Structure 1
Amino acid sequence: MRGNIVVVGAGYTGMMCAVRIAHRTRRDRDVAVTLVNPSDRFVERLRTHQTAAGQELTVHRIPDILDGSGVAFRQGRVTGIDAARRCVTIDGADELHYDVLVFALGSRADTTLVPGADDHAFTLDEPQRFAARLAEPGVRTVTVCGGGLTGIEAAAEIAESRPDLAVTLVSRGEPGAMMGERGRAYLAKAFERLGVTVRAGEGVAKVLPDGVELADGTFVQSNATLWTAGVRVPDLATAAGIGTDRAGRVVVDENLRSTTHPDVFAIGDAAAVRQAWGEVHGTCQSGIPTGAHAADNIVRLLRGRPLKPFRFGYFHQPVSLGRRDAVIQFVRSDDTPRRFVLTGRAAVRYKDAVSSSPIPLFRMSKRFNVYPYLSKGGRTTR
């Protein structure tokens, strides 16, 4: 059993995968696990909307989380992958060789979708920059572009934290369209209470320095524009010749293994994962299980055992509406809404438990094989 495992990206999925491999191979001296990330700070993406609204959150350092796990941390940005030589280039200079590569770089906001977004809009990839903009004198109007769960949480958080600001949410469709009727109705009442103006059915055509232009030509003034509509995956895998889809995600088989390079596994937002009911979309809820499953399959690979297919089903859509309100839409395995919805203070506690769970999960995984699945989908995944 020999293996040099390199995990690229220390988000929720990469962290889960690295810690789990190290724990399961802790007695094997010929196995080394290295986790590579540009920053030594662990980003809680489930809370970036809080940071964007100007809230101070606890800082978690990656070396502290990894302490005692057996995972070696390498701080640096992966700038290239040589799939033929099995190595990654770090910061354009140093090379790190691998026997198995785990591609866990996640995704970033796609600001190439409309003109001006890349130049004039902020994203939750750098929430501190947006928070600094909100703190500047003269900022009175904020526009959040995108009616998905990320945009909903950001608009509500900003409106609650900064009631002096006029917050507008622009969405091509109805905000929270993936939720059921009761969930959407509760969401609409929350926006009304918080004073968030919703412009639904009017997609953004252009982002300007002082506002956004809608598809019908309407101009919406905005001193600070936050872009949450769409994501993209870094093109490192595509550039390396690893098979990817149109969105740049690594195409994987049922074992989360690249269909073109068997020494590469891909997890989380960076992987095109399909189940019997359809395609898995990028969330922490699905990402952490892919990290755990890939780790188990890599250990099976090292030990010469058959790999097992990934099975997953969704369970819920937890949405915070500021610090004092939330809505939890429970769903079927394919992420379609069920009738049951949790709201109010109970939903706040539920959502906080969900957002707080990953780091304790990583720490537990240094000692135990923790299974981070709320649902494996039952019959719908077979």
Structure 2
Amino acid sequence: MATRIVVLGAGYAGVVAAKSIAKQPGTRVTLVNASDLFVERVRMHQVAVGQPVRQRPIAELLTGSPVEFVVDRVVALDTERREVVLAEGAPLVYDTLVYALGSRAAHDAVPGAAEHAYPLAVAEDADRLRARLTAGGSVTVVGGGLTGIEAAAELAETQPELKVRLVTGGAFGAALSERGRLHLRRVFARLGVEVQDHARVAEVRADGVLLADGVLLPADTVVWTTGFRVPEIAREAGIACDDHGRMLVDATLRSVSHPDVYAIGDAAAARRQDGQELRMACATGLPAAAHVAQSISDRLAGRTPRPLRFRYVNQCVSLGRRDGLIQFVRDDDSAVERVLTGRVAAWYKEFVVRGALSAQRHPGLVKLTPRGRKEA
């Protein structure tokens, strides 16, 4: 009898995992997702400003693969019965479960954010923000991470009539090298984006954001890009999770409490071989998907899976369509001085984004090296 493997979530990691596992003899793979469309999450800032981004049916990406696709919302897990409880369909029974439900914006972290701010994490968020921006006026982007930086630059370049401000609690471009920060400030100055760093937002109001020091920054629209939250489904099922609800996994990406469950992507608290937790990113989700497929294959064949070996290479930042920043990093993701900037960097970032989509059609693009390291 075929081993029943259910993959929850059809994001970057989920699709690659499902298609890779389905190649193994003796498996029957079912992929579950709440929507029938694949979301290029790294393009949400482009969608928000009205740029044409093609929506691709997940079924199209699965063409030629024996993966069964179920469009439904996961509401619970019954780990004793090994069942996935769905909102509409009958429960799905599994022998092995791959948990890849991703994350959403934590836009209720401060008072008023849930009511007045516009997150930018999923397709529905981008659509809401695009409709809001038709009113024009001023926009304040809260969050100085890569999502906030890309959103602010895209807004300012595409809609120069907007007055764009970025607010961050730390130093602007803190994770970048000196050269990277210098280029970032030059681009934001050219685009007319006001930067207010070392400023903590205490409240979001209908007319702007209130800082911890009592200063009100007026804004017609507030974009919330700081912090993410994962579903509570794993924790509610009794599976071991960290304080943020991310599933605790071992070096093979298997749950530390439930050996028939694996986790990948944003919903997994995966770590490098030195113990450093992997950041939420497509760059980590794809290699994790390839690794979990190999881990499951090894165990089904009676082999001992190798531990995940992962190194960072760079951070890719789009700064509108005509500029970008490629920050090269050490194995542990810390910045070195070397950067790539300008139009060449914009092309580089676009190549990376297209490559992530190509991997959904051809998971073999994410390969294992002889040492067990993942390369995309």
With normalisation by structure 2, the TM-score equals 0.95
Match of 2:359 among 349, 358, 361: 361
The corresponding residue for 2:199 is 202
Note if contact 1:256-1:267 (Cα within 8 Å) is conserved in structure 2: yes
Q: How does 1:118-267 map to 2 (within 5 A)?
A: 118-124=114-120, 125=122, 126-136=125-135, 139-267=136-264
Note if contact 2:72-2:88 (Cα within 8 Å) is conserved in structure 1: no
Q: Deviations over 1:23-46 (max 9, x none)?
A: 2x2xx3x42111111111100011
Greater mean alpha carbon deviation, residues 122-131 or residues 150-159: 122-131
Question: Which residue identity lines up with residue 71 of structure 2 in the other structure?
Answer: Q
Q: How does 1:37-186 map to 2 (within 5 A)?
A: 37-91=33-87, 94-124=90-120, 125=122, 126-136=125-135, 139-186=136-183
- Cα distance in 2 for partners of 1:372, 1:12 equals 17
Q: CA deviation at 1:345?
A: 1.2
Q: CA deviation at 1:112?
A: 2.4
Q: Which runs of 5+ in 1 are unaligned?
A: none
Q: 1:161 to 1:369 in 2, by over 3 A?
A: closer
Note if contact 2:105-2:119 (Cα within 8 Å) is conserved in structure 1: yes
- Cα distance in 1 for partners of 2:87, 2:227 equals 27
Note if contact 2:45-2:154 (Cα within 8 Å) is conserved in structure 1: yes
Question: Which residue identity lines up with residue 256 of structure 1 in the other structure?
Answer: L
Q: Deviations over 1:237-293 (max 9, x none)?
A: 000000000000000011100000000000011111122051111111111100110
Note if contact 1:10-1:37 (Cα within 8 Å) is conserved in structure 2: yes
SS of the aligned residue for 1:94 comes to coil
- Cα distance in 1 for partners of 2:191, 2:212 equals 26
Match of 1:309 among 300, 307, 310: 307
Note if contact 2:116-2:206 (Cα within 8 Å) is conserved in structure 1: yes
Q: CA deviation at 1:89?
A: 1.0
Q: 1:91 to 1:348 in 2, by over 3 A?
A: same
SS of the aligned residue for 1:172 comes to coil
- Cα distance in 2 for partners of 1:6, 1:130 equals 34
Q: Deviations over 1:61-87 (max 9, x none)?
A: 100000111111100110111111111
Question: Which residue identity lines up with residue 193 of structure 2 in the other structure?
Answer: V
Q: 1:347 to 1:103 in 2, by over 3 A?
A: same
Question: Which residue identity lines up with residue 13 of structure 2 in the other structure?
Answer: T
Aligned residues: 369
SS of the aligned residue for 1:73 comes to strand
Q: Which runs of 5+ in 2 are unaligned?
A: none
Greater mean alpha carbon deviation, residues 92-101 or residues 69-78: 92-101
Q: 1:176 to 1:376 in 2, by over 3 A?
A: farther
Q: CA deviation at 1:362?
A: 2.3
- Cα distance in 1 for partners of 2:372, 2:303 equals 22
The corresponding residue for 1:333 is 331
Q: Deviations over 1:101-158 (max 9, x none)?
A: 100011111112111111111111210110010013xx30101000001100000001
SS of the aligned residue for 1:122 comes to strand
Note if contact 1:155-1:167 (Cα within 8 Å) is conserved in structure 2: yes
Q: Deviations over 1:212-235 (max 9, x none)?
A: 101111111111111011111100
Note if contact 1:174-1:201 (Cα within 8 Å) is conserved in structure 2: yes
Question: Which residue identity lines up with residue 163 of structure 1 in the other structure?
Answer: P
Question: Which residue identity lines up with residue 50 of structure 1 in the other structure?
Answer: Q
Q: 1:369 to 1:166 in 2, by over 3 A?
A: closer
Question: Which residue identity lines up with residue 277 of structure 2 in the other structure?
Answer: E
Q: CA deviation at 1:2?
A: 3.2
Identity in percent: 49
Q: Deviations over 1:179-211 (max 9, x none)?
A: 111001100111000010111011110011121
Greater mean alpha carbon deviation, residues 288-297 or residues 50-59: 50-59
Q: 1:197 to 1:370 in 2, by over 3 A?
A: closer
Deviating beyond 4 angstroms after TM superposition, the runs of 4 or more aligned structure 1 residues are: 375-378
SS of the aligned residue for 1:156 comes to helix
Greater mean alpha carbon deviation, residues 36-45 or residues 53-62: 53-62
Q: CA deviation at 1:370?
A: 4.0
Match of 1:318 among 311, 316, 319: 316
Q: 1:133 to 1:376 in 2, by over 3 A?
A: farther
Q: 1:277 to 1:186 in 2, by over 3 A?
A: farther
Question: Which residue identity lines up with residue 225 of structure 1 in the other structure?
Answer: V
Note if contact 2:306-2:372 (Cα within 8 Å) is conserved in structure 1: no
Question: Which residue identity lines up with residue 280 of structure 1 in the other structure?
Answer: L
SS of the aligned residue for 2:337 comes to strand
- Cα distance in 2 for partners of 1:195, 1:302 equals 56
Q: CA deviation at 1:359?
A: 2.2
- Cα distance in 2 for partners of 1:41, 1:359 equals 13
- Cα distance in 2 for partners of 1:148, 1:369 equals 28
The CA RMSD measured in Å over matched residues stands at 1.6
